[in-house]
């Protein structure tokens, strides 16, 4: 129900829980590069400086883990995903996008859902540089989905014609993961 503050079955978290499949990766911003490739006309490699020079937006949203906790009122700041899509020019057969992260984590989403205004490649949280434990230097934020669709430590973004199943999605978690429809597990 959209009238409720939190999606069904969610409670406000105490503190800020962290979730990752292994150790928190550290990276050197001077040598860090984001690679955008796959089914695109203009593959791109960006330094952190290049990304920060692009027009940024601020988006306030709540954050929902499939385990049942939510963190409300997060002020994320970064580059809208659709701005990156406009630069790399997806080919006609690019229908999905896979995110590849420094810890080996992966997740994927339909390109159409990534083009919504509130989907960000975020590098700031609540006015400060995104801390490494929260996914810095760069994470995706897609507020409508459970948080396993918001990958931390993104290093590569791959446009694909077929959907590649992500880490949790290949372990029984929903591939659509809409928090408001309570899509937690594979049916
Ligand atoms: N790279 C990476 N991103 C990830 C994960 C992960 O293990 N590795 N876990 C996901 C899950 S299950 C959740 S709940 C959120 C947790 O984000 P937080 O640590 O900022 O609270 O990150 C998501 N993104
Ligand atoms: Mo999660």
DSSP string for residues in 94-163: --EEEEEETTS-EEEEEHHHHTSTT-EEEEEETTEEPPGGGTTT-EEE-TTB-GGGS-SSEEEEEEESSP
Mean pLDDT across the chain: 96
Tell whether 16 is covered by a domain: no
Q: What's the rounded Cα separation, in Å, for the pair 142 and 161?
A: 21
Peptide bond into 137 cis (omega under 30): yes
Query: Has residue 26 been placed in a domain?
Result: no
**Residue 24 lies inside a defined structural domain of this protein:** no
The number of folded domains in the chain is: 1
Query: Which residues does residue 40 pair with via DSSP β-bridges, in sequence order?
Result: 90
Distance 17 CA to ligand 2 centre (A): 9
Nearest protein Cα to ligand 1, atom 21? 18
Of the bound ligands, which one is closest to the alpha carbon of residue 142? 1
Pocket of ligand 1 (CB under 6 A): 17-21, 65, 101, 103, 105, 134-135, 147-148, 150-153
Which residues span the domain enclosing 56?
A: 32-181
For residue 113, pLDDT over 80 is answered with: yes
Q: Is residue 117 part of a domain?
A: yes
- pLDDT in the model for residue 187: 72
- Average pLDDT on 89-107 reads 98
CA of 111 to the centre of ligand 2 (A): 22
65 C-alpha vs ligand 2 centroid, how far in Å? 4
25 found inside a domain: no
User: Is the residue at 12 inside a domain?
Assistant: no
Q: Closest Cα to atom 16, ligand 1: which residue?
A: 19
Residue 51 has pLDDT above 90, yes or no: yes
| pTM for the whole structure | 0.97
Percent of the chain clearing pLDDT 90 (strictly above): 97
Confidence of residue 2 (pLDDT cuts 50, 70, 90): low
Q: Does a structural domain hold residue 86?
A: yes
Question: Does residue 49 or residue 187 have the better pLDDT?
Answer: 49
Instruction: For residue 90, tell me if it sits in a domain.
Output: yes
Going from the Cα of 151 to the center of ligand 1, the distance in angstroms, rounded, reads 6
- Ligand 1 atom with minimal separation from the 22 CA: 7
């Amino acid at each position: 129900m959209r009238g409720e503050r939190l999606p069904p079955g969610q409670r406000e978290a105490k503190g800020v829980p962290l979730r990752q499949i292994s150790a928190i990766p550290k990276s050197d911003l001077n040598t860090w590069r984001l690679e955008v490739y796959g089914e695109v006309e203009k593959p791109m490699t960006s330094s952190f400086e290049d990304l920060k020079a692009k027009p940024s937006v601020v988006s306030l949203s709540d954050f929902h883990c499939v385990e049942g906790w939510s963190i409300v009122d997060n002020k994320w700041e970064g580059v809208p995903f659709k701005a990156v899509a406009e630069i790399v020019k997806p080919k006609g057969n690019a229908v999905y996008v896979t995110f590849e992260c420094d810890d080996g984590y992966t997740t994927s989403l339909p390109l159409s859902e990534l083009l919504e205004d509130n989907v960000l490649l975020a590098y700031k949280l609540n006015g400060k540089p995104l801390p490494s434990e929260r996914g810095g230097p760069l994470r995706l934020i897609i507020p409508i989905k459970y948080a396993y669709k918001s990958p931390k430590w993104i290093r590569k973004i791959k446009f694909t014609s077929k959907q590649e199943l992500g880490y949790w999605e290949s372990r029984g978690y929903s591939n659509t993961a809409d928090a408001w429809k309570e899509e937690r597990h594979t049916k």
